[in-house]
Structure 1
Amino acid sequence: MFFTDTELFQMLQTTFQDFLAFSKNPVKAESYTPMSARSMVAFLLIALVLVIPFGLLMNYLIGDQFDSLFEEIFKINKWLIVPLGILLAPLIEEPIFRLHLDLKKSSIWWSMILSFLVMSTQWFLLVAFLVYMIFLLISVSQKEVVNLKFVVYTSAIFFGVVHLGNFSNFDFVSHFYWIPLLVGAQFFIGLMLSYIRLNHGIWYSILFHGVYNAILIIPSVYFYEP
């Protein structure tokens, strides 16, 4: 898979325009299509170009103010984070935060049930998510029209906020003003994964999630020094 600079620029431009249009007005494809390798690369490049500078800015502003659970795992066995972040996280998080985007009752039930695996230690977040799921379930059962943009953005917000659990000493009340900065990258990735899920299916969002995590995690683990 090789392409010229012009082809790469056009591919990135087209992909970003499609994603931007989706962000303004999310729609579900009539039928899922396989996600091409080129499209996967384009989305990865866009994600990394936007997320890495954001992460550096966050690190500069916040530093080590909050204790990361990843640091604790690194101290036990730094390579343990690889299967957790690359395999387990996408396999659990995608069904929770993206499966129900198709607004099918079975998908909503699965998202609701699996949410207990991730949010059990964040009871307030779990309660809010369950209320959201019950609302969707009732609306779909009564055949009401549900605003897909509301669903996509709400799921992306939950996806971002749940990652605050990665900080062992984060207090919502005391540090509420840091929340947009801490979850901004995850929110953006959540929207991108929503696009992939609604155009290519849940397995492609799982695959993209895993590859994206691998690109960020493996170099961090390899060069990590206690």
Structure 2
Amino acid sequence: MIPPVFQDFLIFLRSPSKAESYTKMPAGGFLVLLLVALALAIPFSVLLEWLGVNQFDSLLEKMLAENKMPVVFAVIFLAPLLEEPIFRLHLDLKITSIWWGLGLSILMISQQWYVTAVFIVYLVYLLLKVFRHRPPNLKFVIYTSSTFFALIHLGNFSNFELADHFYWIPFLVAAQFFIGLILSYIRLTYGIWYAILFHAVYNAILIIPSVYFYEP
């Protein structure tokens, strides 16, 4: 039997909508979506290793080798607190939400600046459309936002060159794209704080084992 929250998520992917009022996210639903996210991410990381992703130098591994605890703090707490308002807050298509995304996106300039530049243009486009009372299709906004969320994670690889390795992009960011869709569902169904919490727990599950098992 498919859990109701997963059924709702699949419906959301086909025809996304925003809840009229946010409710408390059930613990069971939180756990189901977390398991779905991990079921996507963990096997995919194994596949990437098999395909030869180790040719790209991981910035995370380098930072863990230099100073583990600040990196863990940044990944679990700072990343969700910044990335969710940047990539998900504007999904409600409110002018103030889009302005917040624009302001905070400046913090990403040093990470994949060309992706950030296009993302800022996209947010300005949204702002103009909403200001003119002609908001774009919500499905377009959700999938576009998830795409930018995925692409910004190309910055996790220090020696990735777009011109030379463009064919790797779908493999390197596919997991982040699907995680972005899950976070979009949570944000529009239960609110931005549940999306931040989910993002933090997901990151914690992935990063904490690295503290104990990573070997330089």
Relative to the length of structure 1, the TM-score reads: 0.92
Deviations 1:72-121 (A, max 9, x none): 11121122221011000000000000000000000000001101112334
Is 1:85–2:75 an aligned residue pair?
Answer: yes
Is contact 2:93-2:135 (8 Å) kept? no
Task: Output the aligned Cα RMSD.
Answer: 1.1
Distance (Å, rounded) in 1 between the aligned partners of 2:49 and 2:22: 38
Relative to the length of structure 2, the TM-score reads: 0.96
The letter of the residue matching 2:13 is S
Distance (Å, rounded) in 2 between the aligned partners of 1:62 and 1:143: 48
Is 1:24–2:14 an aligned residue pair?
Answer: yes
Is contact 1:90-1:209 (8 Å) kept? yes
Cross-structure match for 2:212: 222
> Of 137, 140, 162, which residue of structure 2 is paired with 1:147?
137
Identity %: 60
Offset of residue 220 of structure 1 = 1.8
> Of 166, 175, 196, which residue of structure 2 is paired with 1:185?
175
Is 1:64–2:54 an aligned residue pair?
Answer: yes
Is contact 1:119-1:162 (8 Å) kept? no
Distance (Å, rounded) in 2 between the aligned partners of 1:161 and 1:182: 9
Offset of residue 45 of structure 1 = 0.9
Is contact 2:111-2:152 (8 Å) kept? no
Is contact 1:82-1:217 (8 Å) kept? yes
Structure 1 consecutive aligned stretches of length 4 or more whose deviation exceeds 6 Å: none
Offset of residue 122 of structure 1 = 2.4
Q: How many residues align?
A: 216
Offset of residue 61 of structure 1 = 0.5
Unaligned runs of 5+ in 2: none
Is contact 1:159-1:186 (8 Å) kept? yes
Offset of residue 50 of structure 1 = 1.9
Distance (Å, rounded) in 1 between the aligned partners of 2:34 and 2:128: 36
Unaligned runs of 5+ in 1: 1-9
> Of 10, 30, 42, which residue of structure 2 is paired with 1:40?
30
SS in structure 2 opposite 1:100?
Answer: helix
Question: For the structure 1 residues 86 and 121, does the alpha-carbon distance in structure 2 shift closer, same or farther, using more than 3 Å as the test?
Answer: closer
Offset of residue 162 of structure 1 = 0.1
